Amino acid sequence: MKRTSLTLQQVKTEAGKFAIMLLGTFILAFAYYHINFQNHLSEGGFVGLALLGKYATGLSPAIGMLLLDIPVMILAWFIKGWKFMIQALLGVAAFSLFYDGFERYSTLVIPFHGNLWIPAVLSGVITGVGAGMVLRFGGATGGDDILAVLISRWKGWKLGTVFFVSDAFVLGLSLFFLPVKETLYTILAVWIASKVITYMVSFPARRTVTTSAVKLPVSTAAKVVSGASQRAPVARGVSH
């Protein structure tokens, strides 16, 4: 019975994580289509590289994305294991479906009539929240997300910093093909998003410990344990 209860709890935990990841991909796809695309902001990451490939060689962005994503996903499989890979694939699939749905069926238009600083700020905040939700719970929305996670853990850099550096590099290359104004405002958007992502993934989760069958916040539990240790001797063989 104890094993069954633990399994059910794990299922609930994983289902909750997956639901949050789905919400994050929905928010991200919404912002990319209704704010970035509709207001002519550029793209960073693998999407931006795929667009550059189209401008330079005429290669379809869909094919370009596959050529970029597949090697990174194979690398992630070997380095992070199958669980990370499955979560990443689910995030990529959900983002693609949501974006395609907005592109096909959404009638919502959010124009800012050339005031690009407004969509840049909105895009930075909203995409940062969406991406942060996905990444915090082990998912990804593309090969560039996976690569950023791997580089962040390898080098010890903040995840948002990795995103900003990679996006800024791609957007710098975009200046050869795309309007300067839109590209610079997109750099502002990805800078804001990088700060939001760093906050989202590094913000400490509220943890609880159980003492006397009562769940307490970690800080409160620590005081209880500390007080108890001052009042009672420590038994031999028990480590703290």
Question: Mind listing the pLDDT tens digit for each residue in 90-124?
Answer: 888 888 889 889 988 999 999 887 799 999 999 99
Mean pLDDT of 207-233: 41
User: Which tens digit of pLDDT belongs to each residue from 186-216?
Assistant: 999 999 999 999 999 887 765 544 433 344 4
Q: Is the pLDDT of residue 14 over 50?
A: yes
| Distance in angstroms (rounded) separating the CA atoms of residues 49 and 202 | 28
Task: Specify the pLDDT at position 206.
Answer: 55
| Distance in angstroms (rounded) separating the CA atoms of residues 18 and 195 | 24
The residue ranges of every structural domain in the chain are 2-202, 207-240
User: Which tens digit of pLDDT belongs to each residue from 32-72?
Assistant: 889 988 888 888 888 888 878 877 787 777 678 778 888 88
89 pLDDT tier (thresholds 50, 70, 90): confident
Task: Specify the pLDDT at position 205.
Answer: 62
H helices of the chain, in order, are: 2-31, 45-57, 61-80, 82-105, 117-136, 143-155, 159-174, 180-202, 218-231
Cα separations in angstroms, 58 against 53, 54, 63, 67, 91: 7, 4, 11, 14, 28
Task: Specify the pLDDT at position 42.
Answer: 83
Q: Is the pLDDT of residue 166 over 60?
A: yes
